[in-house]
Structure 1
Amino acid sequence: MASTNMGCVGRPVALRGTLRRWQHGLERGRIREHLRRTEAALRDANHDDLAPRQRRRRRRHLDRLADYQRRGEFPTNRTVPERTPLFVGDDEVPCAVAHLLLEDGREDLVAAVMDEEPTVRIEDLPADHPVVEWLEANGLTRAEAARIQPAYPEGVQFATSCGPVPCWFAGALVTLVGTAVAAASELVGYRLASGLFPDNALKRRGLLAYVTIMNLLLAPLVALVLFALFP
């Protein structure tokens, strides 16, 4: 009896562990895509007003941001129960902006932010804050740094800041895509299934019902994944 109980307990624990790994992988993909798009947008931005030294520093930091994004190691938030910026995570991994500071040898600025408010949003920093002054000296604006800074959830939440588009538009878009995927899958499934079991109508109807149920499950899953990946 004891071994049976342990097996029953072990399966849910293993399932939760697998689900947690899947969730963190999904969230890591969302953050990487956010940083990839942000880096590309900042490279395309007009910065003719910068001095040559600032331009060189800006390019160097964008290269560092690209390396950070490709490495895929992001802060872990285990303390705040909603998606929030985190300068340095509970696992001592820095956020993207903190990473740029550390790569430039400004451990003092990272430590100062952690002492003041580790969940600070860059756009909320005053204009005379040392971090803002560092950004300007390195060819980045406060608005650009705020765009770099993603939020890190305690767990995966199917809610999003939706980046540059309104959240209602993001929701409508992913709903449309999910519905289109389900409709296409339904059409293909029906065409394939309708030719099977020509002499057994019951089996054919059962298979068609199975295809419909699977497509009804597929549509919201696709929509949720797309919505979670919005930067």
Structure 2
Amino acid sequence: MLVTSFKPIEQIRLGGIFSLPLEPTLEPWRQAWSSACTGVDCGGIGGGFYNSLAIALPATVLPIFLGALNGYALSFWRPRGAGLLFGALMVGAFIPVQVMIYPLVRVTATLGLFSSLPGIVLVHTIFAMPVLTLLFRNYYAGIPRELFQAARIDGGGFWRIFVQLMLPMSVPIIVVAAIMQVTGVWNDYILGLVFAGRDYVPMTVQLNNVINTTTGTRLYNVNMAATILTSLVPLAIYFISGRWFVRGIAAGAVKG
């Protein structure tokens, strides 16, 4: 992919997919970013990058906050029906996305959120809840309950303990959750295709449109450049924070 993205199309047509570029060029990358045709629009996938960013940021922060809140409540406060609620969340983790698309289309349309940024963020939040709740619940289960009881004796309430005690201790698992959620949302195709609408088409949808366009000549170098550009964010996250991911999965609550 990388080698092909730097070749002029004339060299690609000669064959030899593993041969190095005779005259390396950045033109395919420029075209992929700013002028490749994604259907009838020939503005490249650059706009999709900002759309994916606008979707990924709130669709990461909101689910992580709610997942941490759910895990905290199910681990320490244990309201009536907590076991039943946790079981329902775990069942939700095994329901395929495709099964839920039509009901969610009807619900978001009824709420006036279909084909909008709040709509796609809401959908990503719904699908993230089971896994993130499980992640935070298991993490909080490893925290000594004596810390929670000491905070209660000192007069701490639900929100004060959560904000001042639990969240500062949750940095390792928050990093893990952020890596999982950002990469999951960024790599998503089907939810973005259905729920984002024309104004917030994510990068993955635009990439599909670039590669599968039926108009003009198929430019393999541009396609490869567009593919690499689309995958740069998840790749960068894994390369930069991979060790944090492993450390967060294995981290305990109390060091010493």
Larger radius of gyration: 1
TM-score w.r.t. length of structure 1: 0.28
